[in-house]
Amino acid sequence: MTQKIYRVQIPVDGRSQMFSITGYVAALSAAPACNGIYGVDVWYLVDDTDPKVTEVKFSVAGTGRPLSATETLIDYIDTCVMSDGLVWHVFARPVA
């Protein structure tokens, strides 16, 4: 088994993002995006020897904002404090 860590960028736009990830093991952490866009970077672990493709749903929710029924079923990953002072909470869930 060969494990590696990769990163995806999730915009803070009120919509969940789906990614097809080969060998997905788990989401690890998140931080404010590092390339100037208003979003979050999420790091995740993969097993490069596993050919299975998993659909992973990533969501970002603001403090004090209502969560949809589907977001409450998603696993918490991390909290990001943005440069403008807003705080966003990052969730991920394998779908298939």
Give the predicted TM-score (pTM) of the model: 0.88
Residue ranges of domains in the chain: 3-94
Cβ contact 21:71 at 8 Å: no
Does position 71 have pLDDT exceeding 70, yes or no?
no
Dihedral (CA of 22, 27, 32, 38) sign: positive
pLDDT digits (tens, 9 = 90+) for 26-41: 999 999 998 888 999 9
How confident is residue 16, by pLDDT bands cut at 50, 70 and 90?
confident
Top-confidence residue, 12 or 67: 12
Does position 70 have pLDDT exceeding 80, yes or no?
no
Helix (H, G, I), strand (E, B) or coil at 25: strand
Q: What letter represents residue 6's amino acid? A: Y
Dihedral (CA of 11, 17, 23, 29) sign: positive
**Using CA atoms, how far apart are residues 22 and 48, in angstroms rounded to an integer?**
8
Does position 96 have pLDDT exceeding 70, yes or no?
no
Q: Which residue has the tokens 């690890």?
A: 28
